[in-house]
């Protein structure tokens, strides 16, 4: 029975710990007391039907939105109320449904931006001039390394806006690697891409975790969740209703019904 399962144990052993997060939009309570943690080297998959509040939770933890109530800390320090930019400087990266590359920059420059941003956002505002003037061979070489790690084979001088959706996602992943974050949020990274592209991305997500990054993933495709996640958090209507390993949560009839309609 799902009701007998205790809530996530939100102690202080995770790098990122959140407790009792609440968020409403007007009359609608979208999050009603969500707690959990992200652990270095682990992939935590957030699953549940559309409207469960998964994206809203990620937006609270990456500085896009502020909660009405609750707490969230990174290594014991509060993160709520900080801008996405500040949080990136503190090691929190994201790949959201809207992948947000710079459309009028080339592939290579987009990755260079991510490298320069990592070097600059820790203490001063980001300066685009640094990218244009600073396109040294050193930066270009580093950027190419990230592109080759994700298996990017399109022309590096093509503009980001002309890429296929799958290649935009790969580019976003290359930029995420270039950010060298400690904790990353991936909101449906493989939704809407070909199986070929998805099969390229899955091992890269695993590699991020193997490198010690705490990975939070929203994913609907249950086979990917089973192959990737160390921990599955099932959300429905703004609360966590189940958590555990993929096989554990899928052994619960109510979770299967809510997540898979089975």
Separation CA 136–CA 23 (nearest Å): 45
51 binds, among ligand ADP, Mg ion, none (CB under 5 to 8 A by kind): ligand ADP
- For Mg ion, which stretch binds (CB under 5 A), given 4-12, 52-60, 101-109, 173-181? 52-60
Considering only 52, 112, 116, 232, the residue that binds ligand ADP (CB under 6 A) is 52
Tell me whether residue 30 or residue 38 sits nearer to ligand ADP (CB atom): 30
Positions in 143-172 near ligand ADP (CB under 6 A)? none
Q: How many residues bind Mg ion (CB under 5 A)?
A: 1
Contact code string over 11-50 relative to ligand ADP, x by CB under 6 A: --------------x----x-----------------x-x
Cβ closer to ligand ADP: 33 or 51?
A: 51
- Residue 163's H or E segment, with its range, is none
Contact (CB, 8 A) for 160 and 105: yes
Q: Which is nearer to Mg ion, 181 or 185 (CB)?
A: 185
Q: What is the 3-state secondary structure (H, E, C) of 102-123?
A: CCCCEHHHHHHHHHHHHHHCCC
193 is a site residue for ligand ADP (CB under 6 A): no
Instruction: Give 42 or 56: the residue with its C-beta nearer to ligand ADP.
Output: 56
CB of 206 to ligand ADP, least distance (A): 23
Q: Which is nearer to ligand ADP, 25 or 76 (CB)?
A: 25
Nearest Cα to 243, choosing from 17, 15, 48, 57? 48
Instruction: Assess 55 for contact with Mg ion (CB under 5 A).
Output: yes
* Residue 53 CB, nearest approach to ligand ADP (Å): 4
Which does residue 196 bind out of Mg ion, ligand ADP, none, counting CB within 5 to 8 angstroms by kind? none
Q: Is 54 in the site for ligand ADP (CB under 6 A)?
A: yes
| Helices H / strands E in the chain, number of each | 10, 10
Q: Which of 7, 33, 40, 51 binds ligand ADP (CB under 6 A)?
A: 51
Rg value, the chain, Cα: 19
Let me know: does 158 contact 189? Beta carbons within 8 Å: no
Q: Reduce the DSSP state of residue 158 to 3 states and report it.
A: coil
Cα–Cα distance, 58 to 72 (Å, whole number): 12
* Sole binder of ligand ADP in the list 35, 42, 56, 167 (CB under 6 A): 56
Ramachandran assignment for 98, one of left (phi > 0), alpha (psi -120 to 50 degrees), beta (any other): beta
Residue 62 found at the interface with ligand ADP (CB under 6 A)? no
Which residue, 84, 87, 11, 24, is CA-closest to 53? 24
CB of 239 to ligand ADP, least distance (A): 12
Measured from the Cβ of residue 52, the count of other Cβ atoms closer than 10 Å reads 24
Backbone angles phi, psi at 87, to 5 degrees: -70, -35
Residues in the chain: 262
Which residue matches tokens 């290594």? Answer: 75
By CB under 5 A, name the binding residues for Mg ion: 55
């Amino acid at each position: 029975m799902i009701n007998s399962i205790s809530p996530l144990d939100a102690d202080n052993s995770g790098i990122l710990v959140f407790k009792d997060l609440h968020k409403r939009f007007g009359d609608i309570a979208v999050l009603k007391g969500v707690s959990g943690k992200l652990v270095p080297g682990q992939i935590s998959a957030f699953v549940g039907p559309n409207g469960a509040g998964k994206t809203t939770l990620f937006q609270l933890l990456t500085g896009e939105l502020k909660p009405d109530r609750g707490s969230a800390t990174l290594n014991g320090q509060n993160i709520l109320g900080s801008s996405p930019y500040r949080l990136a400087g503190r090691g929190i990266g994201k790949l959201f449904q809207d992948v947000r590359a710079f459309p009028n920059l080339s592939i290579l420059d987009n990755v260079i931006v991510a490298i320069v941003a990592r070097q600059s956002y820790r203490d001063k505002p980001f300066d685009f001039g640094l990218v244009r003037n600073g396109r040294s061979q050193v930066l270009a070489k580093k950027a190419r390394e990230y592109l080759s790690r994700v298996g990017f084979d399109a022309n590096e001088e093509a503009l980001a806006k002309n890429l296929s959706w799958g290649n935009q996602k790969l580019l976003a992943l290359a930029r995420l690697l270039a950010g060298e974050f400690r904790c990353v949020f991936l909101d449906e990274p493989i939704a809407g891409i070909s199986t070929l592209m998805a099969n390229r991305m899955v091992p890269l997500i695993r590699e991020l975790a193997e490198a010690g990054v705490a990975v939070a993933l929203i994913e609907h495709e249950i086979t990917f969740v089973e192959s990737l996640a160390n921990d599955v958090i099932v959300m429905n209507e703004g609360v966590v209703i189940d958590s555990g390993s993929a096989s554990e949560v899928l052994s619960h009839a109510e979770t299967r019904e809510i997540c898979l309609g089975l």
